[in-house]
Amino acid sequence: MIESLATTIAADVVKRIALSVPKSIDKWRFARFFGPPAVTGEGFRAVVDPYTHPAPRTGNRYIKRFMDKRPDQPLVGEDNVLGVNVIRLISYTAALFSSFTKNHMSIPIVADYDVAALWDSSFICFGSSDSNLKTYDIETLPEQKYYKLTFGPDGHRGFEVGGKHFGFEGRRDRAIILKMRNPRHPEHLLFVCAGLGEWGTTGATYYLFDRWKDLYKQHGLKPFLKIVEVEVGVDQSAKEIYSEQFE
């Protein structure tokens, strides 16, 4: 009886150890890829991009669509608002980072205005420099020589990378994923997930968070930039069409 119990306990211990080892390895890789603050939950911020309504709040400025269930409702609304796409960004961020932080909480998700003057942190910015102030700050760093957001020959926005121009193609949005060292605080990292439209941004974020293990195997600790293509309306369709690694 005692021997049988001891055997059962020993088997359970071995099973628990076997299950914990892969988790520990993943956590170690996660900390190397996103930086130690991604695991401690301190000194890492996800940055979203609120918009400000230009009209004063003296009358109705918004419409709530009720899809024919009742008449559409005019609203005064808030001065600063976030797009529906931010819900997806927050859910992706919370799901990933809460799996690895020591307290199982997501990293702080903040408005770009709140961190405009800050650099002593790791940042992951959602949205291009046309909408996200912190992305603009990163894009205009002297050390950021990897890409430019420009106008193409057709007059539309696109990313200029390696002498190539990546713009919208029909219903396919284009986006960048950038990882680089924070030059102001080298112990931290900077990430940008930026589409030409909202689906490019959320698709790039989905791609980064879903495939970070593969990206770690491919790039290790080195900075890199990728262009991904996303079918409008389907984040999971994101696929890499260009990649470059830097020293």
Q: How confident is the model over 131-175, as pLDDT tens digits?
A: 999 999 999 999 999 999 999 888 889 999 989 999 999 999 999
CA distances from 222 to 5, 15, 42, 133 (A): 50, 35, 22, 25
Residue appearing with tokens 């119990």: 5
Name which of 219, 206, 198, 186 is nearest 120 in CA terms.
186
Residue 6 has pLDDT above 80, yes or no: no
Query: Which of 203, 173, 212 has its CA nearest to residue 88?
Result: 203
* Beta bridge partner(s), residue 244: 225
**Whole-number Å distance between alpha carbons of 44 and 121:** 6
- Let me know: does 238 contact 206? Beta carbons within 8 Å: yes
**Looking at per-residue confidence, does 13 or 187 come out higher?**
187
pLDDT at 5 over 60: no
The pLDDT value recorded for residue 4 is: 57
CATH for the 31-52+82-245 domain, from 3.90.550, 3.30.379, 2.40.480, 3.30.1490: 3.30.379
Residues 82-113 have pLDDT tens digits of: 999 999 999 999 999 999 988 888 999 999 99
Instruction: Show me where the domains of the chain are located.
Output: 31-52+82-245
Centre a 10 Å sphere on the Cβ of residue 93 and count the other Cβ atoms it contains: 20
φ/ψ of residue 44, rounded to 5 = -140, 125
Tokens of 85: 């796409």
**Residue 217 binned pLDDT confidence (cut-offs 50, 70, 90):** very high
Over range 219-242, report the average pLDDT: 98
Per-residue pLDDT reduced to its tens digit, 29-71: 999 999 999 999 889 999 999 999 998 888 899 999 999 999 9
H or E stretch covering 229:
strand 224-231
Number of residues written out for the chain: 247
Q: Name the burial class of residue 191, with classes exposed (0-12), middle (13-18) and buried (19+) by CB atoms within 10 angstroms of its CB.
A: buried
What integer best gives the mean pLDDT of the chain? 91
Residues 6+ away with beta carbon under 8 Å from 159 = 147, 148, 149, 150, 165, 166, 167, 174, 176, 196, 227
Sheet of 44-48, strands arranged across: 109-111, 44-48, 122-126, 189-195, 172-181, 224-231, 239-245
